[in-house]
Copies of this chain bind each other. A is one copy, B any other.
Amino acid sequence: MNAKYAIGLDYGTNSVRALVVDVADGHELAAAVWIYEHGNQGVVLGHDPNLARQHPADYLVGAEVTIKDALAIAHKRVPGFAPDQVIGIGVDTTGSTPMPVDTDGVPLCFQEKFADNPAALAWLWKDHTGYREAAEITQLASEIRPQYLAKIGGTYSSEWFYSKILHCLRTAPEVFDAAYSWIELSDFVPAAMTGTLHPDTFVAGICAAGHKAMYSKDWGGYPDKEFLSKLDAKLGALLGRLTPRVKAVDSAVGGLSKDWAGKTGLKEGIPVAVGAFDCHLGAIGAGVKPGVLVKIIGTSTCDITVKVNTDKLADVPGVCGVVDGSVLPGYFGLEAGQSAVGDIFNWFVSYIQPGGEQKLSHVELTNDADKLKPGESGLMALDWNNGNRTVLVDQRLTGLLVGHTLYTTPAEIYRALVEATAFGALTIINRFEEYGVKIDEVINCGGIAEKNAFVMQLYADVTGRPMKISRSAQTPALGSAIAAAVVAKAHPDFATAIAAMTGLKDKVYQPDPEAHAVYKELYKIYSTLHDAFGTKAWQGSLYGVMKTLMDIRDKVRK
């Protein structure tokens, strides 16, 4: 029997990647990456620092270029490889990245009259222009639809679907009025490739709809008309033009269109799976299952776990999204995350640029930081330079550093920043467990997990848990390929496909008991600062914070 392959398409913030995978064992034959052409590496910026948009043309060109390149590479590497052995395509993307479309489902920005209007572009996940609208949606929901908030951790984010659409309605009404509907990037690509963009055929993924558009079976789908109309009558009217077809990643949107088969050299009609967000399909590529937390660690993190949907599940406060079927069909998908991790280390190296003439690199700072003992610096940081996604869900929080003296060094600060992200990670794990979502195993993936043994060891020491690393270096694309394999029926279900196609690296970072003991003390301080600056209800004393850090420092240094 000939080998069969699936393609995973992974849309990041700056580039798109196509990965060709053997559906039998998950072997990655070939990958190709293409950097978006518009704006600054794909991101169109504006005067307002909150604005971040993308041009959908980059999504279409990127798919074509990377699929063709990846197929060519596979052909070179694997004797006898032929594009018609590819049996399906899966797609993951950033999100919420919605765009306004016309009555044919085509993005408005392709019309000449909207070509120069940034509101007609795709509103990238990290566009925060709708932060006032987000607060308004949260406020209204807290008053009349608390059930909506319960599923999303208590706060509707400025990064999400309705915040962006409402902001467009208010600030660029000409675009809002010209739009028939709005669709997410993760739904746009599969629909475009299968010729199903038209509103009569368009299918949306439960991942984006559930996590960003408050779609839930519990209230029969999207938020009700009364609620949306109270925000704006036009938003209420839009409701009727959002697709009623909302499916999980075990469904195909359709078959690859003749047009796209011609462009790419793939077989016409092979199934294209329903799209989902990168971290959700990344969790699949890393081997998510009940009891497993997958941490995708890069500039920020996405933390994903699942729980069988026949279990009773309490709402988990501060966990951004709990959506039935958003990761795996038949399971609640639980999504948490840290708004900045690698971005904080990059800030210190790139913006503060420590080290003077021999400017210190990440590697040098890491080496020096690695030589320090836990608690030795007397420092403590909060990892909120980009707000806090979980468990506080508050973008108007900022960084904090405490404990520096006249002798504090850059490496000490660097280590404190890494520790802060580890304490943030522990806070998420604890919150899950407090609400009945047991975490037995942590699997890490993403650039930092791949490359940075110092960070991974420190995470093990702080959390007191072994840190495992996903075998694949590109788990979102692999997860998309797994979805493709499932919709192409190469495997009967996701559990079988995941077991066959994913794996772990041999290296496991085991917690050092002595380090963990110190970090338990330090975590108390982190929690105090976390609650003091991050919650309204906190009442307590910070008088001991600086002194306790010094006491621990003195003890450790002895």
Binding site for B on A (CB under 8 A): 340, 343-344, 346-347, 351-357, 359, 378, 384-386, 396-410, 413, 532-536, 538-539, 541-543, 545-547, 549-550
Contacts and interface: CB of A to CB of B under 8 A. Distances in A.
A352 B384 CA distance: 21
B343 A406 contact: yes
A408 B351 contact: yes
A40 to B, nearest CB: 15
B550 A543 contact: no
A533 B538 contact: no
A271 to B, nearest CB: 40
Nearest to A551: B396
Contacts of A539: 539, 541
Contact of A405 (B385, B403, B410, B542): B385
Contacts of A354: 352-354, 356
B398 A351 contact: no
A404 B385 contact: yes
B352 A397 contact: no
A396 B549 CA distance: 10
B347 A408 contact: yes
Contact of A542 (B343, B399, B532, B550): B532
A410 B546 contact: no
Given A398-B546, A398-B550, A386 B405 contact: yes
A399 B380 CA distance: 11
A353 B356 contact: yes
Contacts of A357: 357, 359
A182 B378 CA distance: 35
A398 B409 contact: no
Contact of A356 (B359, B406, B550): B359
A406 B538 contact: no
A344 B404 CA distance: 10
Given A351-B407, A352-B352, A536 B543 contact: yes
A546 B406 contact: no
A534 B413 CA distance: 22
A547 B396 contact: yes
Contacts of A536: 541, 543
Given A344-B406, A385-B404, A406-B344, A543 B549 contact: no
Contacts of A378: 398
B403 A401 contact: no
A401 B401 contact: yes
A70 B192 CA distance: 88
**Closest A-B pairs by Cβ, 9 of them:** A353-B356, A356-B359, A399-B404, A400-B402, A398-B546, A401-B401, A398-B403, A347-B406, A532-B542
A413 B384 CA distance: 17
A541 B409 CA distance: 31
